Amino acid sequence: METPTQDMDVRWLYTQSQLKLREILPTNKTFDVIQISELVDPTDFISPNSVVLSVGIAFAETPDGLRDWAHRLADAGVIAIGFGSGLTFPQVPQALIDASLHLGLGLFEVPREIPFISITSSVRDEQTRRAGRLQQELLLEQERLNSIAISGGIEALCRAAADYLGGAVAIVDSDGRVACSITTDDLDALPQAVSRLNGSSQALTDATNFGFIHRMTRYGDRHHVLSVLMPTRPSEQHRALIRHCAGLADILLQRPEAMRDREIEVRSLAMSLLLGRSDDLATIHRVFADITDASGNIRPILITGNTPQSVRKALSSVATALYKQERALAHLRLAESTELLFLRGSRSVHNIVQLFGTAASGVRLCIGLPTRVENIDKKLIRELTATAKTLQLGTYAEPRDGTLLWLQNPELRKILKTRSRDTYDRLLDHDRTNNTELAPTLVSFTQHGGHIGDTAKELGIHRHTVRTRMIRIEEICEIDLNDPLTRAELLLVIATKEGDVEKH
**For residue 260, is pLDDT > 70?**
no
pLDDT at 38: 94
pLDDT at 500: 41
pLDDT at 83: 97
What is the C-alpha separation between 440 and 446, in angstroms, rounded?
A: 10
Question: Which is more confident, 483 or 323?
Answer: 483
- The rounded mean pLDDT for the chain is 85
Per-residue confidence band for 400, with pLDDT thresholds at 50, 70 and 90: low
Q: For helices 424-434 and 438-447, what crossing angle results, to 10°?
A: 140
pLDDT at 454: 86
Looking at residue 105, the DSSP 8-state letter turns out to be: -
DSSP 311-347: HHHHHHHHHHHHHHTT---EEEEEETTEEEEEEETT-
**For residue 56, is pLDDT > 60?**
yes
The H-or-E segment that residue 488 falls in is helix 484-499
Q: What is the mean pLDDT of residues 386-408?
A: 70
Q: What is the mean pLDDT of residues 93-121?
A: 95
**For residue 498, is pLDDT > 60?**
no
Question: Which is more confident, 372 or 35?
Answer: 35
What is the C-alpha separation between 361 and 308, in angstroms, rounded?
A: 14
Phi and psi for 24 in degrees, rounded to 5?
A: -110, -50
Q: Are 396 and 353 in contact (CB under 8 A)?
A: yes
Ranges 1-15, 44-58, 221-235, 330-344, most confident: 44-58
Per-residue confidence band for 503, with pLDDT thresholds at 50, 70 and 90: very low
- Return the SS3 of 485: helix
DSSP 109-174: EE-TTS-HHHHHHHHHHHHHHHHHHHHHHHHHHHHHHHHHHHHHHHHHHHHHHHHHHTSEEEEEET
What is the C-alpha separation between 370 and 417, in angstroms, rounded?
A: 31
Portion of the chain with pLDDT greater than 90, in percent: 40
Q: What is the mean pLDDT of residues 280-289?
A: 72
Question: Whole-model pTM above 0.75?
Answer: no
pLDDT at 382: 82
Poorest-confidence range of 51-60, 211-220, 282-291, 372-381?
Answer: 282-291
Q: Are 225 and 191 in contact (CB under 8 A)?
A: no
Per-residue confidence band for 21, with pLDDT thresholds at 50, 70 and 90: very high
**For residue 278, is pLDDT > 70?**
no
pLDDT at 263: 62
What is the C-alpha separation between 387 and 302, in angstroms, rounded?
A: 9
Long-range contacts at 273-276 (CB < 8 A, ≥ 24 apart): none
What is the C-alpha separation between 95 and 65, in angstroms, rounded?
A: 8
Residue type for position 469 = R
Q: 268 to each of 21, 25, 243, 278, 280, how far by Cα in Å?
A: 77, 78, 37, 12, 9
pLDDT digits (tens, 9 = 90+) for 337-385: 899 989 888 888 889 999 999 999 999 999 988 888 888 888 888 888 8
What is the C-alpha separation between 14 and 103, in angstroms, rounded?
A: 21
pLDDT digits (tens, 9 = 90+) for 403-458: 455 555 667 777 778 888 888 888 889 999 999 999 889 988 888 888 898 889 88
Contacts of 381 (CB under 8 A, 6+ apart): 300, 302, 334, 340, 501
Q: 370 to each of 297, 343, 367, 486, 497, how far by Cα in Å?
A: 5, 9, 9, 35, 26
Per-residue confidence band for 156, with pLDDT thresholds at 50, 70 and 90: very high
What does the buried/exposed string (b/e) look like for 341-373 if buried means 16 or more CB atoms within 10 Å of the residue's CB?
bbbbbebeeeebeebbeebbebbbbbbbebbeb
pLDDT at 181: 94
Per-residue confidence band for 499, with pLDDT thresholds at 50, 70 and 90: very low
**For residue 256, is pLDDT > 60?**
no
pLDDT at 504: 31
Strand partners, 51: 34, 80
**For residue 77, is pLDDT > 70?**
yes
